[in-house]
Amino acid sequence: MIGRRLVVAVPGIVGVIVVTFLLNRALPGDPAAFFAGPAATHEAIQEIRVKLGLDRSLPEQFVLYVRDLARGDLGRSLTTGQPVTRDLISRLPASLELTLCGLVLALALALPLGVLAATRPGSVFDHASRMATTAGVSLPIFFTGLLLVYVFYYLLGWAPAPLGRIDAFTTPPPTVTGAFLIDATIAGDATAFAAAAKQLVLPAITLGLFAMAPIARMTRAAMLGVLGSDFIRTARASGLAPGTVLVTYALRNALLPVVTLLGMVFSFLLGANVLVEKVFAWPGVGSYALRNALLPVVTLLGMVFSFLLGANVLVEKVFAWPGVGSYALEALIASDYAPVQGFVLTMASLYVLLNLAIDVVYGAIDPRVRIEA
Amino acid sequence: MRAFARHARYVFGENLVTAGALALFLVLVLLAVIGPSIAPHDPLASDAGKTLQPPSRAHWFGTDQLGRDILSRVLVATRLDLVISLTAVALSFALGGSAGAAAGFFGGWTDRVVTRVTDTIMAFPLFVLAMGIVAALGNTLGNIVLATAVINIPFYARMARAEANVRRDAGFVDAARLAGNGGARVLAFHVFPNCLPPMMVQASLNLGWAILNAAGLSFIGLGVRPPTPEWGIMVAEGAAFIVSGEWWIALFPGLALMLAVFCFNLLGDGLRDLIDPRRRT
């Protein structure tokens, strides 16, 4: 099953590599001249061109490129002087930590909102939540971030200055995973944890608000569909005690796929259990239906995550967050293209892998998908 | 036509939000047309004596770090932002729509190629791909439009493909074929027009996302260059002053941006109600 999915993911990855390669070749300027520096002679540039393989035909260059990729070599950044692979690896945890926190926040808000709106269609609450979610998608993500900074940093003084992942007076925890919250927990360093969490709150809220709207809308639509179906009517008519339906049937079954998803994609989100329990313990017959409404929501999560990966760039800029997005941006502005290319490639591969994971989870939630596959 | 007008009136009457969104849309278009002539000040004229002034009677939205009037800049920017998003959406509508319709109608290798290409585009986080395209092709306004168009193509292509696929064996299509029309002609004049309604809805929802995308790109320094007034870049300029409390520089262009996107999204929902009663929200 997983093997088959892996095969299906291959064309996606090939496509990503081809496009990244073409983007790289279409970049303005001569990479050889970049590497040689401004003072280089014509011969020196020519020599570097041969060394980089730029004098060969496009197909040959592509083969060289793929060979380097297979060795994990993404080239060298001109601005930092480091191999791009190393730069990306050191910065990726910062981005992932932020993205995942945003996603969890979005789930925590959106699932109850969607369920609530679906159980009372046409009510004031439903309309309010429709307006709120539409407003949510309409908010330019960089603008939301700035508003939050203004209110919570400048006006109220609750949040720290939007400058990176940890304030200047706290030593970051020793690196294990690269995610400060986890590393601080491992090291048992409460001060570092608090400092890192403080920095994380505003950007995570910014991302979460953005991701909330599509999840809430999807949950509402899916719940509406399921609530109107026959088996819910049957469950209601059979007079199953809401508690029995909830705990014995729904909760155990419903928790499993959600936890699987969160566990697979975001290994550190065990805390999500609490969140999911809260969501599911809430609306009587509704949570019986929620399991069936989950499928489209899970599919959507992939899309939302893709948006978040993109939106990350903007949020990282607003909050001076030292992740891969801001790394690529700095490189882009300095016409340093190896990091940009590595960034695009990393993000796309992450996304393809995530979709793969979601496909697998999808099969786990819905046995019918498994049989068809 | 009269039945449609009655239906439209019914839907708008029923859903005041959509009617409001339509009104807002008309106001935006009006501002795009007459914006430069009603702006109280020159959007590019700086005034060293009046920098960073909070909103006042002379400058309703305040002035920025160069003493330029923010109200005028927000007004003038309307046209550029609308033109960018409209062009981008029109481009992806034309490209994605025709490719998708051909894929759904003809099937076979056309279908395989189109599906493969759209899948490849969808394999990227879209904003990241747009960044890459602009970086590769050069940092110009035209490339911002192009990048925004490219990342939206899959949505239209998939929708047109599904719509054309459903209709390819319909009775009216067979009739058109029997009347002696060639494949391309049947597709262009009989199948494609019938795919349009759901695609129009998509286009309306897409407009908001296109504006956001273009503004996001100029926020990170791609595309529109200063001192051109554009909402995204104005928010970026104001970003540096937020931490010192000068909120008005970023707030007003940001609000304008939000209002425009909000309006397109509501309008898209309303349009869907209008032409597709099954999916009424």
Length of chain B measured in residues: 281
- Inter-chain contact B235–A140, Cβ cutoff 8 Å? yes
A28, A142, A341: residue with CB nearest B216: A142
What's the token pair of residue A204? 């995570």
Mean pLDDT on A88-112: 77
Q: State whether the Cα torsion A109-A114-A120-A125 is positive or negative.
A: positive
Tens digit of each residue's pLDDT (9 = 90 or more) over B97-134 = 889 888 888 888 888 888 888 878 877 767 777 877 88
What per-residue confidence (pLDDT) applies to A279? 25
**Cα of A205 to nearest chain B Cα, Å:** 18
pLDDT at A315 over 90: no
- Inter-chain contact B239–A306, Cβ cutoff 8 Å? no
> Is residue A83 helix, strand or coil?
strand
**Cα of B36 to nearest chain A Cα, Å:** 24
C-alpha span between B43 and A315 (Å, rounded): 28
Closest CA to B232 of B254, B251, B247, B210: B254
Angle between helices A324-333 and A337-365 (to 10 degrees): 150
- Inter-chain contact A162–B262, Cβ cutoff 8 Å? no
A24, A140, A313: residue with CB nearest B220: A313
Q: State whether the Cα torsion A59-A61-A63-A65 is positive or negative.
A: negative
Q: pLDDT-based confidence at A299, cuts 50/70/90? A: very low
Mean pLDDT on A213-228: 65
Question: Phi and psi (nearest 5°) for A76?
Answer: -120, 140
Closest CA to B164 of B191, B124, B199: B191
Disruptive mutation site among B128, B152, B230, B242 for chain A (greatest number of A CBs within 10 Å): B128
Q: Taking the CA of residue B102 as centre, how many other CA atoms within 13 Å lie in the half-sphere pointing to its CB?
A: 14
What per-residue confidence (pLDDT) applies to B11? 65
Note whether A65 and A16 are within 8 A (CB).
no
Q: Taking the CA of residue A161 as centre, how many other CA atoms within 13 Å lie in the half-sphere pointing to its CB?
A: 10
B125, B138, B222: residue with CB nearest A28: B138
**Cα of B242 to nearest chain A Cα, Å:** 6
What per-residue confidence (pLDDT) applies to B59? 74
pLDDT at A63 over 80: yes
Question: Phi and psi (nearest 5°) for B69?
Answer: -75, 120
Please state, rounded to an integer, the average pLDDT across all residues of chain A. 66
B123, B132, B242: residue with CB nearest A12: B123
Identify the closest residue of chain A to B119 by CA–CA distance.
Answer: A12
Low-confidence residues in chain B, pLDDT < 50: 280-281
CA separation (Å) from B184 to A348, B91, B101, B102, B113? 36, 21, 11, 8, 18
Closest CA to B148 of B216, B196, B74, B79: B216
What's the token pair of residue A79? 């601005």
B124, B136, B254: residue with CB nearest A143: B254
- Residue in the structure block whose two tokens are 């058109």: B176
Mean pLDDT on A151-178: 73
A130, A138, A344: residue with CB nearest B128: A344
Disruptive mutation site among B17, B124, B241 for chain A (greatest number of A CBs within 10 Å): B124
Report the range of poorest mean pLDDT among A217-231, A286-300, A321-335.
Answer: A286-300
B219, B239, B265: residue with CB nearest A137: B265
Q: Amino acid letter at B267?
A: L
Q: Which residues on A lie below 8 Å from B251 (Cβ)?
A: 147
- Inter-chain contact A15–B208, Cβ cutoff 8 Å? no
Q: pLDDT-based confidence at A274, cuts 50/70/90? A: very low
Percent of chain A whose pLDDT exceeds 90: 0
Q: pLDDT-based confidence at A247, cuts 50/70/90? A: very low
Note whether B127 and A311 are within 8 A (CB).
yes
Note whether A319 and A282 are within 8 A (CB).
no
What per-residue confidence (pLDDT) applies to A267? 26
Mean pLDDT on A166-171: 70
- Inter-chain contact B127–A131, Cβ cutoff 8 Å? no
Provide the 10 A C-beta neighbour count for residue A35. 19
Q: What residues are paired with A76 via a beta bridge?
A: A83
Identify the closest residue of chain B to A25 by CA–CA distance.
Answer: B136
Tens digit of each residue's pLDDT (9 = 90 or more) over A18-31 = 877 777 666 655 66
Identify the closest residue of chain A to B223 by CA–CA distance.
Answer: A333
C-alpha span between A139 and A133 (Å, rounded): 10
Q: Which residues on B lie below 8 Å from A130 (Cβ)?
A: 281
Q: Amino acid letter at A166?
A: I
Number of A–B residue contacts, CB under 8 Å: 149
Mean pLDDT on A315-335: 67
Q: Amino acid letter at B15?
A: N
Q: Is B269 exposed, middle or buried (0-12, 13-18, 19+ CB in 10 A)?
A: buried
C-alpha span between A118 and A225 (Å, rounded): 9
What's the token pair of residue B119? 């899948």
- Inter-chain contact A146–B250, Cβ cutoff 8 Å? yes
Q: Which residues on A lie below 8 Å from B138 (Cβ)?
A: 28
Identify the closest residue of chain A to B266 by CA–CA distance.
Answer: A134
Identify the closest residue of chain A to B133 by CA–CA distance.
Answer: A23
Identify the closest residue of chain B to A145 by CA–CA distance.
Answer: B239
Tens digit of each residue's pLDDT (9 = 90 or more) over B243-272 = 777 778 888 888 888 888 888 888 877 777
Q: Which residues on B lie below 8 Å from A122 (Cβ)?
A: none
pLDDT at A51 over 50: yes
What's the token pair of residue B261? 């996107």
- Inter-chain contact A140–B119, Cβ cutoff 8 Å? no
What's the token pair of residue A160? 């720290």
Q: Amino acid letter at A173?
A: P
Q: What residues are paired with A83 via a beta bridge?
A: A76
**Cα of A188 to nearest chain B Cα, Å:** 33
- Inter-chain contact A332–B119, Cβ cutoff 8 Å? no
Disruptive mutation site among B121, B220, B266 for chain A (greatest number of A CBs within 10 Å): B220
B219, B242, B254: residue with CB nearest A154: B242
